[in-house]
């Protein structure tokens, strides 16, 4: 268990988190290509101080770069390189023996050329993931010119929790392409007709 002080612009919130929560935070941030300084590195460093093993490093690795989702819909090559470099940096600072798994993962990513697209994946409460393809040509600071909206994830979660509102109904909504991607795959299974329109011609 960890006691954390999470600071925001206006307040400081104290909370207690366990190891599983921290690993899950790494997973969520990694697949959404969150900014690396915002990862819970302080929890990792504290765990490495208190535990003689490197088990948490391996657990994080399995939930990020070695996760099946990363094989199917990987974040950008550059992002994975930076993430692994940060993970190795923390592990080396703890004075432990090198982990072959870490360097194998880094070596594999170093041998891959950056493609024209990468993926941001958002984990849903049901355990599934919604993955969005993005062009690597316009990525900056872990985002693109068209930033995938966090609001779309919340809308998708709400739709899942209130699916009875869409059952056997004609649904028409006008949203941007990102929002449409999140929700159409969910409510489209249950509606009679789903008419989607946005900045371009309507899609049926």
Dump pLDDT digits (tens) for 53-62.
Answer: 889 999 999 9
Same domain, 50 and 118: yes
Same domain, 136 and 154: no
Same domain, 45 and 128: yes
Record the pTM.
0.65
Same domain, 132 and 190: no
83: exposed, middle or buried (Cβ count in 10 Å: 0-12, 13-18, 19+): buried
Map residue 180 onto helix, strand or coil.
helix
- Which residues pair with residue 4 across a beta bridge? 15
Residue stretches of the chain with pLDDT short of 70: 1-17, 137-154, 169-204
Same domain, 72 and 127: yes
* Segments forming the whole domain that contains residue 180: 149-204
Same domain, 10 and 87: yes
Same domain, 113 and 59: yes
Same domain, 204 and 159: yes
Q: What are phi and psi of 198, to 5 degrees?
A: -160, -130
How many distinct structural domains can be found in the chain?
2
């Amino acid at each position: 268990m960890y006691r954390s002080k999470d600071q925001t612009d206006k307040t400081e919130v104290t909370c207690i988190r366990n190891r599983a929560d921290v690993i899950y935070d790494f997973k969520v941030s990694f697949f959404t290509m969150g900014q690396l300084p915002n990862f819970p590195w302080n929890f990792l460093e504290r765990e490495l101080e208190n535990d003689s093993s490197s088990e948490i490093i391996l657990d994080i690795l399995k939930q990020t770069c070695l996760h099946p989702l990363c094989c199917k819909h990987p974040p950008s090559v550059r992002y994975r390189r930076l993430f692994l470099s940060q993970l190795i940096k923390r592990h080396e600072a703890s004075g432990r023996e090198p982990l072959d798994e870490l360097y194998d993962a880094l070596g594999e990513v170093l041998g891959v050329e950056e493609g024209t697209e990468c993926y941001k994946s958002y984990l849903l409460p049901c355990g599934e993931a919604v993955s969005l393809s993005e062009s690597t040509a316009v990525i900056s600071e872990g985002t693109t010119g068209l930033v995938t909206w966090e609001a779309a994830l919340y809308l998708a979660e709400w739709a899942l929790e209130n699916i009875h509102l869409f059952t056997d109904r004609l649904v028409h909504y006008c949203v941007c392409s990102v929002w449409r991607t999140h929700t159409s795959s969910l409510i489209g299974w249950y509606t009679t007709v789903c008419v989607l329109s946005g900045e371009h011609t309507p899609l049926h």
